[in-house]
Amino acid sequence: MTRRRLLGSAVVSVLVLGAGEREASADGASSVSWQTNGDTSVYVDSDAVSAITPSLSAKAEDPLAGWTANGSYLVDIISAASVDIVSTASPHWQEVRHAANVGFKYEPGTMGGGANASVSSEPDFISVTGGLTGSFDFERKNVTLDVGASYGHDRAGRSGTPFSVYALDLDRYSLAASLEIVLDRATTFTPAFELALEFGRQEKPYRYLPLFSASVAPTVPVGASGDLVNSLREPGRVAENLPDNRQRYAASGRLAHRFSGSTLILNDRLYADSWGLVSTTTDMRWVLDVGRRFFLWPHFRANLQRGVNFWQRAYVGQTANGSVDVPVYRAGDRELGPLYSIGFGPGARFDLGSSDPETWSLVIQAEGTYTRFENALFIDHRWAWFGGVGLERRFE
């Protein structure tokens, strides 16, 4: 599918949102409220990767009956000529990813349950996930416990090769719990925990790593260019190999406070996994009421992480008796190495059209992110730019 057709479909999706409004308005007696979104975002970075992502989402809710249903669909058109691709003399590639999810929740009283499912598909990758959730209100809805369990299966292959011939399978199980606490008339605090267990192959089928002799490896500088790596490395490359199981633990806290003319939302996450990756992520959004129908916010996000315990900038390959000894586990994914990133950008929401309950909203966001790779080959930093425009419709 070409970019022009996808952009066209994003425009059509906005028209569909408008058509939905007229049908729903005819049924004035319904207590069901609707929210539909059409969104298109663009991503470009200094490593020659770009993506355009049109998406559609919808949510229907009946507060009196206690049910909520939601669904979303997005398309990622990714174009890449990153240094990893260039350094292995591979051609520039383009790929289209489709992702969709649906969910349903029913909470007639102080307890409820729900189910959700999602699927993501690329020419050489497919992922399917399903989950169940439960919700329990305490203290007259001043405390809400949400729990969830999910199972997912990923299958990665090589483009043009059937999965029956070559496939790397991964099973994912996760347990999550969060507790939303109403602290006062304007503040909520939500601690959340998640445990994810992964069993299977996580290597990228196309990722091959350069090897160096023991004497050269320590001298390869951070961010060494492709030409320098090629001049220093041993002949041949070795495929990435990662452990076949991984346990991930995440704990986070969300604090939301409504002031008289603004809302502050703070998120912090601590993360650790059995591969040795430890990270902290802080996310802050301060939404200012510029007018009754106009909101403006700065958004800030920072991520600091220690790499996995088998991470090495330059892996050593020792030749002995005609074979090459290499470390059992080896990774070339920079996101598994030590890094920090800082992102900042503005966002705005304009509420348009008639007043509640029928409202159109235009949401615009932009963000720049600087990432520093502290112990990686080929590049030592990346600038990434993100922009998004969304049209949202709320009606009854």
Partner 1 sequence: MAPSLRTVAERPARRAQTLRGARAAALAILAFGVVACGHVAPYQRAKLAHQTMDPDDAHSLGQEHMQAVQEGAIGGGVSATSGCGCN
If the CB atoms of residues 126 and 196 are measured against partner 1, the closer one turns out to be 196
Which DSSP string corresponds to 127-179? EEEEEEEEEEEETTTTEEEEEEEEEEEEEE--TTS-TTTS-EEEEEEEEEEEE
If the CB atoms of residues 32 and 216 are measured against partner 1, the closer one turns out to be 32
If the CB atoms of residues 216 and 266 are measured against partner 1, the closer one turns out to be 266
If the CB atoms of residues 212 and 297 are measured against partner 1, the closer one turns out to be 297
> Whole-number minimum distance, CB 385 to partner 1, in Å?
10
Q: How does DSSP classify residue 332? A: -
* Sequence-ordered list of residues with C-beta below 8 angstroms from that of 92, at least 6 positions apart, any chain: 79, 80, 81, 85
If the CB atoms of residues 92 and 141 are measured against partner 1, the closer one turns out to be 141
Cα gap 64→239, rounded to integer Å: 56
> Whole-number minimum distance, CB 277 to partner 1, in Å?
5
> Whole-number minimum distance, CB 40 to partner 1, in Å?
8
If the CB atoms of residues 52 and 217 are measured against partner 1, the closer one turns out to be 52
> Whole-number minimum distance, CB 164 to partner 1, in Å?
28
> Whole-number minimum distance, CB 217 to partner 1, in Å?
23
> Whole-number minimum distance, CB 49 to partner 1, in Å?
10
**Is the separation of the CB atoms in 171 and 153 below 8 Å?**
yes
**Is the separation of the CB atoms in 181 and 214 below 8 Å?**
no
Query: 119 burial class (0-12, 13-18, 19+ CB within 10 angstroms)?
Result: middle
Indicate the pairing of strand 187-200 with strand 294-306: unpaired
Closest CA to 333 of 82, 97, 128: 82
The amino acid sitting at 209 is L
